[in-house]
Structure 1
C-alpha cells in the first residue's frame, strides 16, 4: 500500500456508495483488510504508509493504545454502508507496517469485531503479518487461540549484510525459528516473505536465503524483487552514489533461481511472486485482490474496492481517527471504474496467475496478438477445445509479465 494517494472524486460524508456498487453484493466474496501503520524503525526501501513513534508524537488519535477503537468505528461504518445484503467475511488480513507491534489481544479484539459485525464465513482465512522480532510464543498462541489461522513473517534475507542494508533489525535465523513457534502455537498456515536484488547480494547469497527459508518448512513463500521507490532513503542513497541501482538482469537471474529452488522443494507458483506447497496453502485474501473481489480496507491510507468503486482513506493516522470521531467517513477520495477500466485491470491482474486469464476477456484485436506470444514462448493456452481456453504465462513470460500486458492490450 504505497504512501502516495491518488487523486479522486469526493466521497459523501457518510461514506455512501452508489447503488451500482451494491448490486449483487451478497453474491460476491467480501474481504476485510486492516492496515496497522506502526513500525519500530522505518526501513530505507519502504514507501508504505507507516510511522515510527517519534513521527506520530502524542496526538491521541494516532496512538497504538486507541488504534483498534478507531478501526472498529470504521468497521461499523462499513456495516452501515454495505447494508444487510453484505455476506459474511471470507478472509481477514492484518497488514502493515508491523501489525504485531499492537498487543495480540488487540488484534484478536479487532477480529472479534469483524465476527460480531459481519460474521465470518465457514473456513474463513484470517492472516496477520509480523516481523520476526515483534512477537513471541505467547503472542502467537494468543493470536491462534483468538481465531487467526495464517501468519506471514517478513524474513527478507538470511544474509546479515543484506539485512543491514535493508535496515532490518532481526538476526538471519530468527524468521526461520519463528516458523516452528507458529506451528507450535496452532497456526494452520505459515508463510515467509523474501526480497531479492539488494545491491551487493550475490546469486549464492540469494540461494542460501531460499534454502534457509525452505529448511524451516513454510507452507507458502513470497519472493519480491527490490524496487527502489522515489522518496525513500534507499533512493536517496542511490542518487548519492552510495549504493548501485538494482539491475534488471540480476533480478531476472535471481527469479530463475527462486523458481528452481522452490519447485525442487515441492512448492508451486500460483502468482508471479508467490509459491505454495498445496492449492489450499495459497493466500486466499491476496487471490481476492488479483480477481477483483470486494474488500474493505480499514486504517489510514487503506484502499477498498466494492463493486467497481475504489476508494481510499486519509493518510495520516491522526486525520483518519479525527474523521471517525467526528462521525465522518475517513475516505479521502474515490473513483468509479468504467467497464473498460475493469476489463483492463482484469487482464493486468489475472495474467499474473498460474490459473491464467480467460481468452474471452480479450478483444478481437487482442486475441489476434496471442499467437505471437505463443510463438515467442511467452505464454501457453490451456484448456483448448474445452470451451475454457485460458492464457497462461510461461516461466520466460513471467519474467516479462508487465511488458506482455502492455503489448497485449489495445
Structure 2
C-alpha cells in the first residue's frame, strides 16, 4: 500500500478510519482527571499521534504517556510487519500492539549514559578522569586527556569512525573489538572544545569502560542495574531469538535522501541511510550489541525508564539510583551551541539531549525537559515542569516530509495540554 508524493515512499492510509489499526492497553490507562488532565486534552494528544500516522511516513507508531507517574495513554497504531511502503497487507501482516518491541537506535544512548553514571555512583569510575585511565589504549591522536564527561556530552573529539572505504558500512559496527581499536586510534578533533554529536563511537567506548572496570559483559551490567530493577520484559541491546517474532520491522519512508543530507547522514551513521534501515531488520544486527544504537524496548518501557529518572532514581519505592547521580546525569553540561555533526544548535547534559525555550526537541517551552532522539523521530523524554514522561516509537525512517509538521504539532499539543496551571 503505497502512495507517491513527488517520489516519496508513503503508506496508503485508509481514510475510512483508524480504529481497526489501533491497539489500546485499556487496563493500563488511568482516567485522565485523576492526574489533572481533561478527557479533551487526552483526545487532542492522541489525535496528534493519529495525524502523524496519516502522513504515511510511519507504518507503525507506539506511544506511552505518563503523568504524575500514572499511564494515561499506552497505544499503538499501524502494522508491525507487512504494512509498510510498497507492501500490501496480507495473510502475513501483523498489527503493532502497545507492547511491540522496537529498536530505539540513538535513543539507546540515554540508557548507556545512565549506566556510566551508575558505575560512577558505585565508585567504579571518576567521570572527570581521562578515559585512558580505564582503557589505556585510548590515547591515539591526542586523546589521552579526554575525559568520560566529555565523551558523555559529545565533546570527546572522535564523532566518526576513521576508516577507509573497505570498512565503511554497517557491518563494521557488529565487530566490537574492531570498533574499539578504531576509536582508540582515531585522531582527536579539538577534544573538550568542539561540540560534535558522537552518533556511534561514544557509546562503544563508554560501554568498554563499563566492561573493563566491572569485568562483566555490558549487557549483564544493564540487566542487573536497570532491566531487572525496573521489571522490564525487553529493554535489551540486541534481541533474543524468541522475541524476534514480535519485533517491528523498520522501513525507509518519505522523500528520497539526497545530497547534502545523504552525506550528513552517512557521516553520522557510518553507513548509508537505506543500508542502516536494511541492516536493522537482519538477524546479525539483533545478535550484536551496539551501545549507541540497538536497544529494543516498548514505548511503555522507555517511559518507565524516564519516570524513574524523573522521580530522582526511585521506582516502586525502590531506589535504583541515587538522587545526586540522576541530578548530574540530567544537568546541563553544554549550553546551546552549534553541533558540527548534526548541523543544528543543540544543548546536552552528560548523556541527554536537553529541551530548549521557546521551542526545542520536545516542543514549546520545554527548557527543563531531558531525553534523547533516535533514528528517525523516535523520542523518549521526561519533562519535570509538566510532570510527564513519554515514549514515542516509530518504524518509518524519513528525513524530509509532512511528517515533521505532524510531529511538531503532536509535541506542541503534549506541551500545552500537560502544562501545570
Rg larger in structure? 1
Q: TM-score, normalised by structure 2?
A: 0.24
Write 1 or 2 for the structure with the bigger share of helix: 1
